[in-house]
Amino acid sequence: MRFAWLAAGAGSAPVRARLARPGTAVLLAALAVELVDELVDGTKGAALPLIRHDLALNYVQVGLLTAVPLIVGSVLELPMGVLSGSDLRRRRFILSGGLVFIAAVLAAGLARSFAVLVIALTAFFPASGAFVSLTQAALMDAAPDRQAQHMARWTLAGSIGAVAGPLLAAAVLAAGGTWRLAFVIVAVAAAAAWVAVAVTSRSLRAHSAKPPVETATEPGAAPAVAGTASAPEQNEQEKRAAIFQSRSLALLIK
């Protein structure tokens, strides 16, 4: 973990500590997670008529495929964000959620019955919360001064994935494949994103660690008490919970 120390001359602004920004590889890995998440959603939406025909689903079952995973995901995502806690625990949540994410997409593509499909999609939503939302929270914490730029990139990556999903399904069908092959391709893409996050997440964890707090002291003033929490430290859990709450609301809107 390295810090870029910006020291001022005598009598000028106080010494400040700035955390080094996450590198390009870390940023691309995080954006790949969001792209794959929206790729799944876009592919599923485009393939839903084919899924209904292939599995002989009625409209009640189609409604349950949408409602049950959405409700379970919305209920579990917010407490999952709070329980993720420290950076080490967050990394474990991200990687574990990513594995379930990949398995759920693959299981959905291989499902031969309504029961298997609804279980796979129900597992997918909370897994997406752990894999995607926690990656987003880690990225934002890693560079607090560039949150607006990272959010813009995050939104762009998600938009690309949402558009690419139906295009992928159409390309697979045009090539003579089925909706199942489209899901398998998305699962492979998710596995690639998981590997990228696994490789770069240690660097992201180091970047998201808190820098030492240094406060300005006037001559004769008492030094700052060590261990006193700064404002960003006090607001970290609130920010993480807000990200999960906004994601849950977005799921409900969908």
Q: Residue 205 has what pLDDT?
A: 55
Checking if the pLDDT of 222 tops 60, the result is no
Checking if the pLDDT of 150 tops 80, the result is yes
201 pLDDT band (50/70/90 cuts)?
Answer: confident
Q: Residue 73 has what pLDDT?
A: 81
Q: If DSSP states are collapsed to H, E and C, what string results for the chain?
A: CCEEEECCCCCCCCCEEEECCCCHHHHHHHHHHHHHHHHHHHHHHHHHHHHHHHHCCCHHHHHHHHHHHHHHHHHHHHHHHHHCCCHHHHHHHHHHHHHHHHHHHHHHHHCCCHHHHHHHHHHHHHHHHHHHHHHHHHHHHHCHHHHHHHHHHHHHHHHHHHHHHHHHHHHHHHCCCCHHHHHHHHHHHHHHHHHHHHHHHHHHHHHHCCCCCCCCCCCCCCCCCCCCCCHHHHHHHHHHHHHHHHHHHHHHHC
In the chain, what are the domains?
A: 34-207 (1.20.1250.20)
> For 177-185, what is the mean pLDDT?
96
Q: Residue 241 has what pLDDT?
A: 52
35 pLDDT band (50/70/90 cuts)?
Answer: very high
Q: Residue 81 has what pLDDT?
A: 66
Checking if the pLDDT of 10 tops 60, the result is no
